[in-house]
Amino acid sequence: MKPQIKENTENFSPNKFYYLWNYLEWGGAQILFFGLMKEAKKKGEVCAIMPIGSNPQLLTFLDNLQVPYKFFDAHTDAKPALTLKRKLERHWNKLRCEFVLLKFLKNFDFKNSIIHTELAPWQSLCALLWLCSKTKVFATMHNSLPPVPKWRFLSWQIKFGILARVKNFNLFTANYDTKESVKPLVPLKFFEKIKVIYANINPQEIEEALKDKTNKTEFAQKYNLPTDKFLVFCVGQFIDRKGRWIFLEAARKLLKDNKDMAFVWISNSRPSIEELEKANGYGLGENFIFLTGEQVGKEHVDLFKLLKMADVFALPSYLEGLPISIIEAMALGIPTISTNINAIPEAIKHLETGLLIEPDDSSALVNAILQLKNDNVLRDKLSKNGREFVLENFDERVVAKIAVKAYQDSFRDE
């Protein structure tokens, strides 16, 4: 009988997990990371790496998860680039940011580690190749790639093609729409290995919020909300692609004949003075309430407790992946309206789990809100169906296990 040889599995499981992004704005990508971090902590050490100046509320959430974090002294420029000069400035800033980041990471010990990053494959080829030279790297794409000129598509094809052939590079997409947009850019074998990790919810936090007995009047007084009006909420960055002006235009139209309504927008950052002045120009007065995440609370469940006050949730985006705010609203049983774009129909099935409208159409948003306001039966149906669909398909525990298994499999495939 031949002697049995014991396999050495010491190097086949990662025990350090780094979650990395290079921008100050935060939202669904970090909430997705929260769920992954919880599962990764069962396997080893977890650390978040982000720019100096990151939002204090984000740091509080990480503290609550008992996840340590480190800062590097640079961040990308998210301001609009409408002129050639601004485009060059933003590109230079990106290059500088990546140089500072890689210099910061130079002395890290990446043995048996995973880096899960938000660096974009079509923008950060050199930085991703450097990271791949150190350890296993996973990038997440949240939005499908838009139509572009042929020369740019060719450059993307080259960049994706290079990364797809690098042993240590792996790709997640946050929905199937995004995955399909990558298909023309990568070899079929690589495409088939891409895992979909949906934006997701923590069912325990949802249940905690639903069971919360705080009096509605207390919430109204704390956040200056009316208790006798039909409330339409939106949660998301107060930016153009989220449809902010469509939301406000729909509110303006509705308030002409519906004095029993009010509109609330919750964002993780405060708009500029110019943006607030433009918002005030819609003449909504006390019927539009803008809140920041910091005002809402230090824990994510605080947002859910407030969001329960909504009669309808509406996010009229122009460009999206699958927004976490939609998933969270549906999980809370709030009838939800959004646009028929990108991956949103993967969660909202029109007249079944929510309502879909076309983007850039304030009249369509008006009609959808009125339809729900005037039809209690439909509202109850969408509330029940939407909640059941999300709880069945967007549980962070399931998504996290998919991701962590992919981390582990990347070591075993060597």
Confidence of residue 1 (pLDDT cuts 50, 70, 90): very low
Give the other-Cβ count within 10 Å of 257's Cβ.
Answer: 8
Q: What CATH number should be reported for the domain whose range is 203-393?
A: 3.40.50.2000
Amino acid identity at 8: N
Domain residues of the chain, as ranges? 16-200+396-412, 203-393
SS3 289: strand
C-alpha to C-alpha distance for 268 and 28, rounded to whole angstroms? 11
Confidence of residue 140 (pLDDT cuts 50, 70, 90): very high
Sorted by sequence, the CB contacts under 8 Å of residue 177 that are 6+ apart come out as: 144, 321, 322, 342, 343, 346
C-alpha to C-alpha distance for 136 and 116, rounded to whole angstroms? 9
328-344 tens-digit pLDDT: 999 999 999 999 999 99
Confidence of residue 79 (pLDDT cuts 50, 70, 90): confident
C-alpha to C-alpha distance for 99 and 90, rounded to whole angstroms? 14
- Res. 7: pLDDT tops 60: no
Which tokens is 90 given?
Answer: 């933003």
Q: What is the pLDDT of residue 213?
A: 87
Of the chain, the end-to-end C-alpha distance in Å amounts to 29
Please give the model's pTM, rounded to 2 decimal places. 0.88
Confidence of residue 10 (pLDDT cuts 50, 70, 90): very low
C-alpha to C-alpha distance for 65 and 67, rounded to whole angstroms? 5
C-alpha to C-alpha distance for 63 and 339, rounded to whole angstroms? 35
Sorted by sequence, the CB contacts under 8 Å of residue 246 that are 6+ apart come out as: 316, 359, 360, 361, 362, 365
Q: Which residue has the higher pLDDT, 77 or 50?
A: 50
- Res. 264: pLDDT tops 50: yes
Q: What is the pLDDT of residue 80?
A: 75
What value, to the nearest 5°, has the Cα angle with vertex 99 and ends 92 and 45? 135
Hey, which CATH number is domain 16-200+396-412, 1.10.260.40, 3.10.450.50, 3.40.50.2000, 3.30.450.20? Answer: 3.40.50.2000
15-44 tens-digit pLDDT: 999 999 999 988 889 999 999 999 999 999
* Overall average pLDDT of the 227-240 stretch: 95
Q: What is the pLDDT of residue 412?
A: 83
Q: Tell me which long-range contacts 98-101 makes (C-beta under 8 A, separation of at least 24).
A: 98/22, 98/124, 98/126, 98/127, 100/72, 100/73, 100/74, 101/20, 101/22, 101/72, 101/74, 101/127
250-259 tens-digit pLDDT: 999 999 999 9
Q: What is the pLDDT of residue 86?
A: 86
Give how far the C-alpha of residue 128 lies from the chain's centroid of Cα atoms, to the nearest Å: 21
- Looking at the DSSP bridge assignments, the partners of residue 327 are none
Give how far the C-alpha of residue 367 lies from the chain's centroid of Cα atoms, to the nearest Å: 27
